[in-house]
Amino acid sequence: MPEITAEQVAHLAHLARIDLSQDEITSLTAELGQIVEAVAKVQEVATPDVAATSHPIPLSNVFRPDTVVESLTVEQALSGAPDRDGDKFKVPAILDEE
Amino acid sequence: MTDLIRLSANDLSGLLADRSISSVEATTAHLDHIDAVDGDVHAFLHVARDAALQTAADIDARRASGEPLGPLAGVPIAIKDVLATKDMPSTSGSKILEGWIPPYDATVVARLRAADLVPLGKTNMDEFAMGSSTEHSAYGPTRNPWDLERIPGGSGGGSAAAVSAFEAPLALGSDTGGSIRQPAAVTGSVGVKPTYGGVSRYGAIALASSLDQVGPVSRSVLDAAMLHDVIGGHDPLDSTSLTDAWPSMTQAARAGFEDGALKGVRVGVVKELNGSGFQPGVKQRFDETLALLEGAGAEIIEVSAPNFEYAVAAYYLILPAEASSNLARFDSVRFGIRVNPEDGPLTSERVMAATREAGFGPEVKRRIILGTYALSAGYYDAYYGSAQKVRTLIQRDFDAAFAQADVLVSPAAPTTAFKFGEKLDDPMAMYLNDITTIPANLAGVPGLGLPMGLAPEDGLPVGLQVMAPARADARLYTFGAAVEQLLESTWGHTMLSQAPVLAPNEMFASEEGVV
Amino acid sequence: MAKASLMDFDKALELFEPVLGFEVHVELNTKTKMFCGCANEFGQGANTNTCPTCLGLPGGLPQMNEKAIESSIRLGLALGCDIAEYSRFARKNYFYPDTAKNFQTSQYDEPIAFDGELTIELASGRQVTVQIERAHMEDDAGKLTHKGGATGRIQGADYSLVDYNRGGVPLVEIVTRMIEGGESDSPEIAKTYVAAVREIVKALGVSNARMEEGNVRCDANVSLRPRGSNILGTRTETKNVNSLRSVERAVRYEIQRQAALLSAGGTITQETRHWHEDTGTTSAGRPKSDADDYRYFPEPDLVPMAPSREWVEELRATLPEPPAARRKRLQSDWGFANLEFQDVVNSDLLDVVEATVAAGASAQSARKWWTGEIARLANVAGVPADTLVQPVQVAGLIELVEAGTLTDRLARQVLEGVIAGEGTPAEVVENRGLAVVSDDGPLIAAIDDALASQPDVLAKIKDGKVQAAGAVIGAVMKAMRGQADAARVRELVLERAGQAG
Ligand SMILES: [Mg+2]
Ligand SMILES: [Zn+2]
C-alpha cells in the first residue's frame, strides 16, 4: 500500500482547489494514511470476476423529451452570486488556462 | 393547547379535518414550543414563523371554504437543511452556503407544499450530511433531547431532535449511510430510508449521488408512511427515480395494526450485524424484541451476509469519491460565500481555493481529499473500482438473505447516543458507527429505524433497524407498524412519552416575564 | 511573445513527415440543452437560458435529452461508426469558471459511437480515408468575456464575466485516429476533413454548422516525425480553430514552426496552442502535465444508455445520401461544368439550388440567379444568401422570366420586392405593375414612332442590316420604361420594317 505523503496531500488539495494550511496538510496526511489503510480492505474481495455496481438499482435509457421548459429569470439565476456585472457573473482574473 | 405538540401527525390530521383545531393553532403550538426549547436543543437553523403562520391561515381558509384537502393538510413539518427551499436559507449545515436562498424548491419540498403541509423551518445537520453526530454542523451541534450532553445522531440530528423534542410532528431527512435511521435510533424516533430511487433527489444538495435518499422522520411508523406517500413517486427531474406504481404506504402501515400481522413473517437476523462491538443494553433490547416477535408468531432465522464486513470500507471510498465531485461546484462564482486569499494576487483559481479553505469544515475537507485520492489516476481501480465490486457482493448477500427472510433486522446503531466530542478526533471510530446502516445504502434497499426500548445501563433509546428488498418499502411499513404496536402494548406507553420534559429556554422565559 | 521562426514548408516536408489528428466539436441544434430543458439558443440575453441544473446550483440534477442522443447516433452512423450497445457518461473533473459544475459531463471509455471512417477528396482528386476513433457526447461550457487589460484576451485581464447560456449545450466530439501520409497535402487534408464533417452534420440536420458561431470547432493536433525515424514526435494541440481557412493555415503554420524548432535542435513541448486569426500564428497555451488528472468516473446522476438495435436501424434508415455522393449525382443531373458546380458548392448554395430546381426551375437558371443577383444582394446585406429568399420564390421568378412575363431587368426589381416582403413574385409583378407589356398594340405604336423618327435606321433594316434594329429597340424600351420584352420588340421591329421572320 502506498504511503500517503504530505506532498501528495498538497497535490490532492490543489486538484480539489482547497488552500490547505501547513497544519491541515500535516494532520490530513496522518489521518488519510489511517483511513486509506482501513478502506484498502475492499481489495481483499474485489476480484476480477466480480462486476462493478455503479447504481444500486439498475436502470437504462432514461431520457427526456427535447421540449423547452421555463428557465429561471435572470434575477433568479444571479440571486446568489457573490459578485456580478449586469446580467453576468463576475469572477477575478483567470490566469491558468484550460 | 400544549397537548397539540404531543399528537401524532395522523391524530393532528384527524382534528384538522373535522375542524376541531385549526392549522394556525397547531402551527402556533409548535412554533411556541420551538421558541421555548430550541435554544437548548438547537434542532433548527432557521424558523419561518411568519411564513408558517401565513401558510397555515391560508390552509384554514381553504378548508373553511369547503375545498377538499389532502390527509396531512395543515400539519406542520420541519425540513432538513440539505433540501433546497426557495423561501428559506438552504445551507446544508455549511458556512460556504451561509444565507443562500435557492431560486427553486426541491421536488420533495414542492410536494409538501402541494399537499398543504406547513413548513416550520430548516433543521440542523452535519455539514453536507457528513457525519453521525451533527457535531460537524458549521452552525453548532444539535443536542439530544434525552440528554443535552449527548449527540442526536447524524447527519440528520436536527430533524430527529425536532420530532423527539416535540418541535414538529414530522420532518424530512436524507440518508446516505444512515443519516435518517441512526438519529432515529438515538433519539427514540422513527425514520425511513426508502428504496433508492423511490423518492426524488432533485433539489437535495448532493452528498453521494448513488447513495443519497430522502425520507420521512416522525414519531410513529404510520406518520412516516403518511409522509412517504406525499414525497414518494417518480420525478422526471431525477434520472435515477423509479417509475414504479407504488402502493399506499399509509395503508401498508395500517395493515400492520391488524391481528396476526406478524404471524408467519420470516425475520432474518443478520449474523454480521449482531456480534461484537454492540453495547450490552443495545444487544439486550434487540434480543428481547426478537423474543417478542417470536411470541407474536414470527419466524426468526439467522442469515449471513459475509461481505457486510467490507461495507464500511466500500462506503468510505464511494462516498468521498462522489462527494469530492459533487462539492466541486462550491466555487464562489454562482452562489455561496466568496473569500479572498489573505495575500498575493486575486485570481479566480486562488479565490476559489481560499473560499473552499474557509468555507468547508475539517470533515468535509477530509472527505474531499480522500475522494480526490480515490479517483486519481493510478488509484481508481484499486479504490473506487474495488469499492464498486464490493457493492455487487453486498447486493448478492442481500439477495441470498431475502431468499430466506421477508425482512432483515438488526440494531439500528451499535451504541446509544454518545457524548459530544467522544469520537470527534478519531474519524475511523466515527465511521464504524455506521456499520449497521451502510449496507442498505450500498444495495439501495429500504430501511426503517424505530425505537425498541431504553438501554438499562444509560436509560437512552435503542433503535431497531428493519430492512426489506428493493421496492418492498410497503413491507417495511406493515412490519414496522406491527412491531411498534407490539412493543408499545408491552410497555404500556410510547417510547417518547418517557423522554425528559425539556425546561423552557431561559432567554424565552425572561422575555415572557417582560411581556 | 517572441515571434517563432518558421521553416519553408517544402523544406520542412523534406525533413519531416507530418502526423495529424483532429478533434471536431459539433454543437447540436436540439431545442433544449443536453441535460436540462433550457432553450438551446444562440444570441440571447446573458444568463436567460439557465436553471438549477445548468447553473450547477446545489441540488440540480441532469436529465438526458433524447433528441441529442438520437442526433449523436445518426452522426455516428453517418461517419461509419459502430453504435455502442452500452454507453455511459462520466464526469471529467476540473475547476474552471465557465464550467458550472466544475466537471464536464462527457463520455470517457464508453462513447456512443466508435470505429468509423470518412473518405475525403482533395482538389487534386486524391482520396484520403480518415479513421474515426470515436464520436462521443458531452456538454458545452459557458462563455467567458475577459475585461480590463489592453487586449480583451485572457492574458492581462482584470476580471472576467460569465454567461452560462451556452453551458450545457449538447456537443458531439469527433476524434480521429492519427492521420499519416498526408505529406504536403496535410494542410488541405485538415481543411477538407473539417469541411466534410461540417457538410455531414448539415446534411443530417443535427447542427446549424455555422463555424462563425462556434457550432463546429476544430482542435488540430500536429506532430512531426523525422524522415527515416519510426518514433512519433511530440504533438501540439491548436484549440478552437473556427474557420476552414484557419484550419488549413494553422496546420501549415505548426508544421513550419515545429520543423524550424526541431532543426535548430529544440524540442516540442506537449501543449495546447492558441490560434490567432489576425496574425496567422499560434501561441503557447497550457502545457500538458502530470497535474492533468481529471479523475473520470461514471456519472452517478445518470443511468447508462443501451440503444436498441432496432432503434439504431431505424435511425440508419433516416440518413441522407452522403454529401460526396450527392454532389456527384447533382453535378451530373444538372450537367454543370466543374467550375460552375464548384461555384455553387463553395458559395454554400447547393441546397437552395437543388430546392429551386425541385420547385420547377432549370438548373442553369437556378445557378445563375443564386450565384449572381441573390449572392450580390446577400453580400450587400451581409447575410447568408439562403436566408434572403425562399427557393420556391426564386423558381417562381425564373418561371416568369422564361414565360416572357419579365425581362431580366424587371425580374431583378421583382426579386427586390420579394426580399422586401411584398409577396410572391406574381404578387410583386401585380402590385408594382412590372409585367412586360404583352399586348402588341402599344408596342407597335411605339415602334412605328421610333421608326418614323429614325428613317435612316429603317432604311438600313430594310436593306437587310438587321443589327441596326438595336437602336430602334433601345428607343422603344426607353419609351416603354423597360416594361417590354426586348425579344418581342425585336421581332416586331423587324416585322414592321418588312424583315419578318
Ligand atoms: Mg471533450
Ligand atoms: Zn438549464
Tens-digit pLDDT profile for residues A32-55:
999 999 999 999 999 999 999 999
B219 plus B315 within the same structural domain:
no
Q: How far apart are CA B41 and CA B161, in angstroms?
A: 7
Residues B117 and B242 in one domain: yes
| Residue B94 known to be catalytic | no
How many CB atoms within 10 Å of residue B246? 18
Say if residues B288 and B300 touch (Cβ distance below 8 Å).
no
> Model confidence at C466, in pLDDT bands (50, 70, 90)?
confident
Closest-CA distance, B273 to chain A, in angstroms, reads 18
Contact of C96 with B369, CB cutoff 8 Å: no
Q: What is the CATH number of the domain that holds A20?
A: 1.10.20
What distance in Å separates the CA atoms of residue B455 and residue B469, rounded to the nearest whole number?
A: 29
Amino acid at C429: V
CA distances from C436 to B351, C431, C492 (A): 74, 14, 15
Choice among C67-71, C271-275, C456-460 with the minimum mean pLDDT: C456-460
pLDDT of B514: 40
Structural domain containing residue A15: 6-45
Catalytic, B155? Answer yes
Mean pLDDT of B233-246: 98
Top-confidence residue, C286 or B65? B65
The number of beta carbons lying within 10 Å of the beta carbon of residue B514 is 5
Q: Nearest CB to A77: which of C50, C286, C304?
A: C50
B413 with B361, same domain? Answer: no
Task: Note the pLDDT of residue C240.
Answer: 83
Q: Is residue A60 part of a domain?
A: no
Pick from B390, B410, B430: which residue ends a domain? Answer: B390
Could you give the number of structural domains in chain B?
Answer: 2
Q: Is the pLDDT of residue C179 over 70?
A: yes
Torsion angle (degrees, nearest 10) of CA B253, B255, B261, B262: -20
Residues B372 and B399 in one domain: no
Q: Is residue A67 assigned to a domain?
A: no
Range of B362's domain? 310-390
Judge whether B488 and B494 are in contact, CB under 8 Å.
yes
**C361 neighbors C399 (Cβ within 8 angstroms):** yes
Mutate which of C44, C47, C240 to disrupt the A interface (most A C-beta within 10 Å)?
C47
Sign of CA dihedral C153, C155, C157, C163: positive
B387 shares contact with chain A (CB less than 8 Å)? yes
In a domain, A77, yes or no: no
In the reported structure, the alpha carbon of residue A67 is separated from the centroid of ligand 2 by a whole-number distance in angstroms of: 12
* Distance from the C148 Cα atom to the nearest Cα atom in chain B, whole angstroms: 14
Domain count, chain A: 1
Q: How far apart are CA A77 and CA A80, in angstroms?
A: 7
β-bridge mates for residue C216, sequence order:
C26
Q: Which chains touch A (3 or more CB pairs under 8 A)?
A: B, C
Closest residue in C to B103 (Cα–Cα): C52
Compare B510 and B135 and report the one with higher pLDDT: B135
By CA distance, what is B314's nearest residue in A?
A: A42
B120-to-B8, B152, B391, C26 alpha-carbon distances in Å: 16, 20, 38, 49
B497 and B452 in a common domain: yes
Place of cell 425541385: C358
C293 reaches B (C-beta below 8 A):
yes
CA B272 – CA B285 distance, rounded (Å) = 17
C-alpha distances out from residue C184 to C126, C219, C248, Å: 12, 20, 12
C416 φ, ψ (degrees, to nearest 5)? -60, -40
The rounded Å distance from CA C106 to ligand 1 centre is 7
pLDDT attached to residue B510:
43
Q: Are C435 and C406 in contact (CB under 8 A)?
A: yes
| Model confidence pLDDT, tens digit, residues B403-446 | 999 999 999 999 999 999 988 888 777 788 889 999 999 999 99
Does A66 map to a domain?
Answer: no
CB contact burial C390-401 (16+ within 10 A = b; e otherwise): bbbbbbbbbbbb
Please enumerate in sequence order all residues whose Cβ is within 8 A of that of B489, keeping only pairs 6 or more positions apart, or say none: none
If one counts every other C-beta atom within 10 angstroms of the C-beta of residue C161, the result is 21
B236 touches chain C (CB under 8 A): yes
Q: Which domains does chain C have, with CATH numbers?
A: 9-311 (no CATH), 321-432 (no CATH), 440-496 (1.10.10.410)
Q: Which pLDDT value is given to residue C479?
A: 83
The DSSP 8-state label assigned to residue B66 in this structure reads T
Task: Say yes or no to pLDDT of C129 above 60.
Answer: yes
- Sign for the CA dihedral angle at C202, C205, C206, C207 comes to positive
Touching subunits for chain C (3+ Cβ pairs under 8 A): A, B
Q: Which of B390, B423, B442 is the last residue before a domain boundary?
A: B390
Helix (H) or strand (E) holding B267: strand B266-270
Q: What is the pTM of this model?
A: 0.88
Per-residue confidence at C443, pLDDT binned at 50, 70, 90?
A: confident
Nine-digit cell at C446?
411605339
Quick one: pLDDT at residue B513? 39
* Residue recorded with cell 384554514: B60
The answer to whether C12 touches A53, Cβ cutoff 8 Å, is: no
Same domain (yes/no): B290, B384 = no
